[in-house]
Amino acid sequence: MPSLVILISGRGSNMQALLEARLPARIAAVIGSRPDAAGLEIARRHELETKVVDPRSYLDRAAYDAALAEAIDACVPDLIVLAGFMRILGTAFVERYQGKLMNVHPSLLPAFPGLDTHARALREGVRIHGCTVHFVTPEVDHGPIIAQAAVPVWPEDTPDTLAARVLRQEHRIYPEAVRWFLQGRLSIVDGRVRLAGAMATDDTLNSPESAT
């Protein structure tokens, strides 16, 4: 059975969604970047092995990345899943796991990479927002896109209400993207992800929809 390592920094809600999805994989470990990350307790309740690699214990990013890689390699995972892991990883680390390092980002990339995505989307007046699952590359939040989900943006939205709507979609598409990887259905061709067996449609998504 293939194995996963999940990296977290906080509450672990995306990790929880992955656990509840009953994926065809063994969770080899959950690694936290903070000893007080709430998601570590969730992992322990699921009787999963947990580790902490705290950046405050290392002199620089390179030393931290080396320690994190050592913890990951001890688990021999087929896929490393970033689930709210709030650390920028160095180029050498990312290239070490090229094609097997996956992340979910709370925007429709390439729009709004980085932090504060929901507040930025509201300031720009976008009508459709969402989330993106992608393979990680050295350029932050710019890796090959695996899946996206869109939500409408309403005039009364705040960053918090919009974030909650997007998070529900993260919990839906992240486990599905991981499942596709485990099934061997994902490939990268000319920098773009291909999903074996995907069906093309001519459906559109409009927000707001015109009155009928």
Return the biggest CA–CA distance within the chain.
61
Residue with tokens 């970033």: 82
pLDDT, tens digit, 9 for 90 and up, residues 69-111? 999 999 999 999 999 999 999 999 999 999 999 999 999 999 9
pLDDT, tens digit, 9 for 90 and up, residues 40-62? 999 999 999 999 999 999 999 99
Decide if pLDDT at 211 tops 60.
no
DSSP state of 206: -
Domain 1-97: homologous superfamily in CATH:
Formyl transferase, N-terminal domain (3.40.50.170)
Same fold? 1-97, 104-198: yes
Instruction: Look at residues 204, 195, 199, 83 and name the one whose alpha carbon lies nearest to residue 150.
Output: 204
SS3 for 156? coil
Q: Which residue has the higher pLDDT, 82 or 206?
A: 82
| For the chain, percent of residues with pLDDT exceeding 90 | 92
Q: Would you state the structure tokens that stand for residue 194, as one six-digit string? A: 């291909």
Q: Would you state the structure tokens that stand for residue 164, as one six-digit string? A: 């909650």
Q: Would you state the structure tokens that stand for residue 93, as one six-digit string? A: 């680390």
Neighbours of 171 (CB within 10 A): 19
Structure pTM? 0.94
SS3 for 104? strand
| Cis check: omega of the bond before 110, within 30 degrees of 0 | yes
Q: How many CA atoms lie within 13 A of 194 on its CB side?
A: 7
Each domain of the chain, given as residue ranges in start order, spans: 1-97, 104-198
The active-site residue out of 46, 105, 134, 171 is 105
Fold of the domain spanning 104-198: Rossmann fold (3.40.50)
For residue 64, name the pLDDT band (cuts at 50, 70, 90): very high
For residue 209, name the pLDDT band (cuts at 50, 70, 90): low
pLDDT, tens digit, 9 for 90 and up, residues 151-163? 999 999 999 999 9
Measured CA to CA, the distance from residue 211 to residue 165 in angstroms comes to 23
Residue 105 designated active-site: yes
pLDDT of residue 202: 62
